[in-house]
Amino acid sequence: NAGVTQTPKFQVLKTGQSMTLQCAQDMNHEYMSWYRQDPGMGLRLIHYSVGAGITDQGEVPNGYNVSRSTTEDFPLRLLSAAPSQTSVYFCASSPLPLLAGELFFGEGSRLTVL
Amino acid sequence: TQLLEQSPQFLSIQEGENLTVYCNSSSVFSSLQWYRQEPGEGPVLLVTVVTGGEVKKLKRLTFQFGDARKDSSLHITAAQPGDTGLYLCAGPGFGNEKLTFGTGTRLTIIP
């Protein structure tokens, strides 16, 4: 059972570089989201999607782009990485309505920006 | 933005002791969820409470939703090392399309 798969698990970038964090789910969930986790700050929502072709901003969207061309995939793009984006990133999915069930999380992607 | 504050931020106790952690907000939530996260992994749902005053039990874990639906607590009886982890509460944001997480309680059970 794959569930939610994130790649890469670890990445080191230099300031100004771009990269994409990949997220794929095989549960046919309509809802997908990206969170970042920083010490003492819990999980903060970056972007989310309620279906293919639909995305919206969360609490901390600046510096990040997303797209949802298929139900399965929800990549997160960093256009010009900054040290403030050093964090652990989690992708999560859920069937809709959101609170009828649970969020299923990937194992996380640890990003360091130098 | 609806905020969820959890306390204590850190808790370290001996195996066999009881403990309670709290999740508080100034806003009313239609429901609250509790997740546990272990190192190197994503959070995993423990329980969802939806009715004010509701109490749910999961083995040695007891979850309560406040009558006014602004707070929740998690009580663990006879804590075991396997209970070690980060406990997060979460509640729905406007339109029920966003899940807001609390700051978390990092629990360590000492054998």
Note the pLDDT tens digit of each residue in B47-84. 999 889 999 999 999 999 999 999 999 999 999 999 99
Q: What is the mean pLDDT of chain B?
A: 92
* Residue B107, beta-bridge partner list: B11, B85
Residue pair A113/A83 in contact (Cβ under 8 Å)? The answer is yes
- Position A2 scores a pLDDT of 76
Token duo for residue B13: 């106790």
Residue B96 pLDDT greater than 80, yes or no: no
Task: Output the pLDDT for position B1.
Answer: 59
Nearest CA in chain B to A43: B101
Radius of gyration of chain B (CA): 13
A18's enclosing H/E stretch is none
- Rounded to the nearest 10°, the torsion over CA B52, B47, A9, B104 is 50
A106 chain-B contacts, CB cut-off 8 A: 42
Kindly list the distances between the CA atom of residue B59 and the CA atoms of A95, A100, B46, in Å, as whole numbers in the listed order: 27, 22, 11
Banded pLDDT at B92 (limits 50, 70, 90): confident
Read off the pLDDT of residues B3-60 as tens digits, 9 standing for 90 and up: 899 999 999 999 999 999 999 998 888 889 999 999 889 999 999 998 899 999 999 9
| Dist CA B102 CA A40 (whole Å) | 10
- Tell me how long chain A is: 114
pLDDT at A59 exceeding the cut of 80 = yes
CB-nearest to B45 from A45, A48, A102 is: A102
Integer Cα distance of B27 and B44 in angstroms? 24
Q: Categorize the per-residue pLDDT at B2 as very low, low, confident or very high, splitting at 50, 70 and 90.
A: low
The residue among A95 and B96 whose pLDDT is bigger is A95
Half-sphere exposure for B110 (CA within 13 Å, toward CB): 4
Residue A85, pLDDT above cutoff 90 = yes
Q: Which residues of B touch A50 (CB under 8 A)?
A: 97
The mean pLDDT value of chain A amounts to: 93
- Annotate A22-33 with DSSP letters as a single string: EEEESS--SEEE
* CA of B18 vs chain A CAs: smallest distance (Å): 24
Reported as a single tens digit per residue, the pLDDT across A19-44 is: 999 999 999 999 999 999 998 778 99
Residue in this structure with the two tokens 């046919």, named with its chain if needed:
A28
Confidence class for position A102, pLDDT limits 50, 70, 90: confident
Question: Residue type at B63?
Answer: F
Q: Is A55 on the interface with B (CB under 8 A)?
A: no
d(CA A69, CA A110): 25
